[in-house]
Structure 1
Amino acid sequence: MTRKTLLRICSGLLLISVAACGAQDSKPKADEQAVEPLVVEAPKSNPEDSFFTPILDKLDDSLAASVKSGRVASLSYTLIKDGERVRSGFIGSRTLEGEEPVSDKTIYRIYSMTKPVTAVAILMLQEDGELDLDDPITKYLPEMKSLQVANSPGSATKSATHPVPQPPTIRQLLTHTAGFGYGDGKQDYINRQFTERKVLAAPSMDEVVRRTAAIPLKYDPGTAWSYSIASDLQGAIIERITGKSLGDFMQERIFGPLKMTDTAFYVSPEQKARLADATAWTPDTPIHLVGGPLAKMDRASVPVDYGGQGLVSTLADYERFALMLLNDGTLDGQTLLKPESVTLLRTNALPIVDPEAPQTMFKRKAGTGYGFGVGVVTDTIQSGLAAPEGTYFWDGASGTWFWIDPRNKVIFIGLQQNFSPAGVNMRASSMRSVYHAIYSE
């Protein structure tokens, strides 16, 4: 029996007892004053009462350990239940050598946590009637009309190709089933082409599209799942349709309405003083600063708005974005999406159901799938994450992470900055801690 159930039973028995006593002599005597009936109210709900606090205390300690051990300079996180914060932690300093503590307003590079924001922008245009999810991307990106597909997609050397049977669709971009590569460190020929052609260092989004169009697809669209440049191409489509930069569109339609005052593709001179240091760490190399454009994050250093990896944000800002999704597209009277669009975003959409299928480029983790810009828990036990089916999540390359659990009305957001092959990813362990701590409804 859960604690909440026991409380309801005790409250109910007390009400019955009071009612029975009153029934014995319901009318006051002539020399007695009428007494107001006793009203027993259930205690006001405290979100933290939904959790076994010693486990949350241990979670605090484990998150703090990454800072104390010198792997990251800072970590900010929050756990939200029923729209209210249960726990928040602000550990370490904004700068590697400084003493300024991090806070709700510290600005972090969130990398792939940009992807669900871009997916929301695409769905907004779909609701506006500006696009259809099953439109071929060539309708907006004509540079893609002559795409080729590799006959040997995993080869380390260039292979023969064949013309794409049909162009990828926007829906396939949203689900990473369009066939594109990414240049994310993998050493097959196609991914190396993204690196060698410096696709993600192009001076404009139009040039990103042109360079991508010259690289073969990994597979025929719709036949496999592979993490890719697809979200950046979604950003290009948004810019072509609206005639605005991706950042300007997001500011007008997402960040402004949600009062996300510190989320953008670069930091202003005024915001620079709140930007967390970019650091790296490996077991053999102590934590150190990372330089270059990554350190500056100003407009001159990042001239292109990348829909798959470009945003900076704060804990306070991303909380508002997550609350909007948890509330089926609306927050504080501002409706960004219809509930059915949010449902599309957070529902597993992968057509590939067999992880052992020969053409599956990515052996998906058991018990998880993919929606629009987010991973989705499809089986609590198989996933090993302890989160219920329907929970959706994603991570960023700098070690950031979040998840949203519609069943329990739970949100968790963690922000840190680690830019090295030695990852400091704590989503899975924090998920297990939260769901070991939560009381069943």
Structure 2
Amino acid sequence: MLQRLAWAKSAAFSVLILAAACGQPAGNLADTPEIVETEAAAPDPAKSFTPSILVMLDEEMAAVVRQNKVASLSYVLIKDGERVASGFHGTRTLDTADPVDDRTIYRIYSMTKPVTAVGLLMLHEEGKFSLDDPITKFLPEMSKLEVFDGLSAGSIRTRPVNHVPTMRELLLHTAGFGYGDGRPDYVSQQFLTHQIDSAASSDELVEKVARIPLKYQPGEAWSYSIASDLQGVIIERITGQSLQQYLEERIFAPLDMADTGFTVDEADSSRLAILTSWTPEAGMQPLPGPIQTLRAAEVARYSGGHGLVSTIADYERFAAMLLNGGSLGDVRLLKPETVSMMVTNGLAFVDANTRLPLYRPSAGIGYGFGVGVVDDTIASGLGAPEGSFFWDGATGTWFWVDPRHDLIFIGMLQNMSSSPILMRRAAMQRVYHALITDYFPTPH
């Protein structure tokens, strides 16, 4: 439109010059034919994808329900702010025909981590801490940390830390802490032995973690860890609020995320998806215990690393806020530069011999604050362009945001077993297989 308008103005100016040269009265520009500007129709985001490949995507997502591996799987694909594909497969329970939809409540586990990181970064913007502050500013229990140095005759060897982990290292998961996620190393096993995840309060959590040595010197390597839970404790200590109160007041209510929180009220229990386990030998079985209900009386501690439940509709709003640089509509949570820092790879470890990156979540993937970041499309094998960011949850939930293509994808399922059902990689590969891109430069 700008090119057409520039041409029209140039043509009108040429009429004046030509008339003057011929000795004719030029008249007024108002006498020239009226130039009518028309707004070009906004492109249809759905036309950015090959429909037949999106059908293949849907079939792949539905297959795990059809094969009785999970009770349900829900997903949405959003481009340019519009949903262009979605699938809601299966039922909320095993014994009813209650279909899932975008308001079905799912346990999102580690998709809590980006939310906690946003909450902590909001306090950073308010000047409550510097990224280079030691974590002992808020966690004095961590003043005597040591680093695991091996086992000798059944006894543990340790060495002193060369510096107290910083807030930046805590956000990047480079502080050196372990995690009770089943890894076989000594430190990770100690998290299971001491039942860290069963701590009845935030204070008890910190005290228990402080007694376990670090896996490495702070800042020396990346390792997925308890760091996000500690971030949640720091939020509580800075604000004097519970993590639930703070996130509700500062994130969930402003973004209209009415179904996101750490517990499920009785009135909403009919929308909570069943959590199942699956193995090839035993098939799909419901998991027992309070994890099925998540009543307030059954949740002793709010976990910044894996405690939230949410819905497709709610998490879409959170992801859109990040895509928009910290705002959604009239609500701004973070400055664009803070979001940029959050979703930029902060890992710079390099092998001295090969000069190749070290200590990453996987090939071609770095880590920001609470999210994985694609920094090598080819090496990652995901198809997503550099700068895309994502994270997953232990029950199989996942999301990613692609700023280059103004794209969001969110997927939800509920499987907790030794046979994980992980669909993000397949979804990413299929979406970028379907995406129609223009490889030619736009003329100016």
TM-score, with normalisation over the residues of structure 1? 0.89
| Residue 291 (structure 2) pairs with residue 273 (structure 1) | no
Report the alpha carbon displacement of residue 263 of structure 1 after superposing the two structures with TM.
0.3
SS in 1 for 2:89: strand
Deviation at 1:371, TM superposition (A): 0.5
Distance 2:154 2:162 in 1: 23
SS at match of 1:208: helix
- Deviation of 1:42 after TM superposition, in Å, equals 4.0
1:349 aligns with 2:346: yes
Provide the rounded CA distance (Å) in 2 between the counterparts of 1:250 and 1:157.
Answer: 44
Residue 128 (structure 2) aligns with: 130
Q: What amino acid is aligned across from residue 220 of structure 1 in structure 2?
A: Q
Instruction: Map 1:4-153 onto structure 2 (within 5 A).
Output: 42-152=40-150
Relative distance call for 1:391 and 1:158 in structure 2 (3 A) is farther
Task: Name 1:204's counterpart in structure 2.
Answer: 201
Aligned counterparts of 1:172 and 1:326: Cα–Cα separation in 2: 24
- The residue type equivalent to 2:93 in the other structure is T
3-state SS of paired residue (2:267): coil
Distance 2:94 2:339 in 1: 38
The alpha-carbon distance between structure 1 residues 93 and 243, as it changes in their structure 2 partners (threshold 3 A), is same
Spell out, residue by residue over 1:246-299, the C-alpha distance to the aligned partner (whole angstroms, 9 max, x if none): 111000000010000000011111111110001010111111100112112111
Could you tell me how far 1:362 is from its partner in structure 2? 4.8
Letter in 1 for 2:242: S
Matched, 1:336 2:333: yes
Pair 1:176 & 2:173 matched? yes
- The alignment partner of 1:407 has SS state of helix
Q: Map Cα deviations across residues 72-111 of structure 1 (whole Å, 9 max, x no partner).
A: 1001100000111111111100012211000111000000
Residue type matched to 1:366 in 2?
Answer: A
Is residue 395–residue 402 contact of structure 1 (8 Å, CA) maintained in 2?
yes
Tell me: CA distance 1:198–1:335, structure 2 relative to 1, closer, same or farther (3 Å).
Answer: same
- Report deviation, 1:181: 0.5
Checking the alignment, whether the CA contact within 8 Å between 2:350 and 2:358 is kept in structure 1 is no
- Cα 1:97–1:168 change in 2 (3 A) is same
Contact 2:361–2:372 under 8 Å retained in 1: no
**TM-aligned CA deviation for residue 158 of structure 1:** 5.0
| Structure 2 counterparts to residues 153-172 of structure 1, below 5 A | 159-172=156-169
Distance change (3 Å), C-alpha of 1:147 and 1:58 = same
Of the three residues 315, 319, 337, the one matched with 1:318 is: 315
Matched with 1:238 is: 235
Contact 1:74/1:91 (8 A) holds in 2: yes
CA contact (8 A) 2:361 2:367 kept: no
**Distance change >3 Å, CA 357–CA 146, structure 1 → 2:** farther
Q: Check the 8 A contact 1:355/1:364 in 2, yes or no.
A: no
Moved more, 43-52 or 333-342: 43-52
Once the 2 structures are TM-superposed, how far is the Cα of residue 38 of structure 1 from its aligned partner?
7.9
- Is contact 2:276-2:414 (8 Å) kept? yes
1:302 aligns with 2:299: yes
Structure 2 partner of 1:293 = 290
Q: What is the alpha-carbon distance in structure 1 between the residues aligned to residue 112 and residue 42 of structure 2? A: 37
CA distance in 2, matches of 1:79, 1:36: 43
Aligned CA distance change for structure 1 residues 380 and 70 (closer, same or farther; 3 Å): same
Amino acid at match of 2:224: Y
1:382-432 per-position Cα deviation (integer Å, ceiling 9, x unaligned): 110010000000000000000000110000000000011111101011101
Residues 158 and 107 of structure 1, relative CA distance in 2, 3 Å threshold: farther
Matched-pair contact (CA < 8 Å) for 1:355–1:363: no
Output one character per residue of 1:353-403: Cα deviation in whole Å (capped at 9) or x when no partner. 339899x99564221100000000001111100100000000000000000
Aligned partner of 1:256 in structure 2 is: 253
Q: How many Å separate the matches in 2 of 1:324 and 1:355?
A: 39
**For residue 51 of structure 1, what is the amino acid of its counterpart?**
F
Residues in 1 aligned to 2:353 and 2:86: alpha-carbon distance in whole angstroms: 40
Letter in 2 for 1:81: K
Q: Which runs of 5+ in 2 are unaligned?
A: 16-32, 439-444
Partner of 2:416: 419
Give the Cα–Cα distance (whole angstroms) in 1 for the partners of residues 189 and 362 of structure 2. Answer: 24
Give SS of 1:160's match: strand
How far is the alpha carbon of 1:188 from its aligned partner?
2.1
1:410 matches 2:418: no
Q: Which moved more, 1:273-282 or 1:296-305?
A: 296-305
Q: Quick check: 1:226–1:361 contact (8 Å CA) kept in 2?
A: no
**SS in structure 1 of the partner of residue 207 of structure 2:** helix
Q: CA deviation at 1:152?
A: 2.8
Is the 2:327–2:333 contact (alpha carbons within 8 Å) kept by the matching residues of 1?
yes
Gaps in structure 1 of 5+ consecutive residues: 1-7, 24-34
Moved more, 105-114 or 263-272: 263-272
> Which secondary structure state, in structure 2, belongs to the residue aligned with residue 217 of structure 1?
coil
**Could you list the per-position Cα deviations for residues 41-73 of structure 1 after superposition, in whole angstroms to 9, with x for gaps in the alignment?**
644421101111111110000000010000110
Q: Is the 8 A contact 1:280 1:288 kept in 2?
A: yes
Contact 1:179–1:224 (8 Å) recurs in 2: yes
Letter in 2 for 1:70: N
Letter in 1 for 2:122: M
| Matching residue of 1:5 | none
Partners of 2:91 and 2:271 lie apart in 1 by 11
**Structure 1 CA distance, aligned partners of 2:414 and 2:297?**
21
Q: CA deviation at 1:166?
A: 1.0
CA contact (8 A) 1:156 1:189 kept: no
Q: 1:270 to 1:106 in 2, by over 3 A?
A: same
TM-score (norm 2): 0.88
Give the match for residue 442 of structure 2.
Answer: none
Match of 1:394 in 2: 391
Q: Is the 8 A contact 1:393 1:404 kept in 2?
A: yes
* 1:156/1:187 contact within 8 Å kept: no
Q: Counterpart of 2:405 in 1: which secondary structure?
A: coil
Count of residues paired in the alignment: 413
Contact kept, 8 Å, 2:343 with 2:373, in 1: the verdict is: yes
Give the 3 Å change call, closer, same or farther, for CA 147–316 of structure 1 in structure 2: same
Whole-Å Cα distance in 1 between the matches of residues 161 and 354 of structure 2? 20
Matched position secondary structure for 1:151: strand
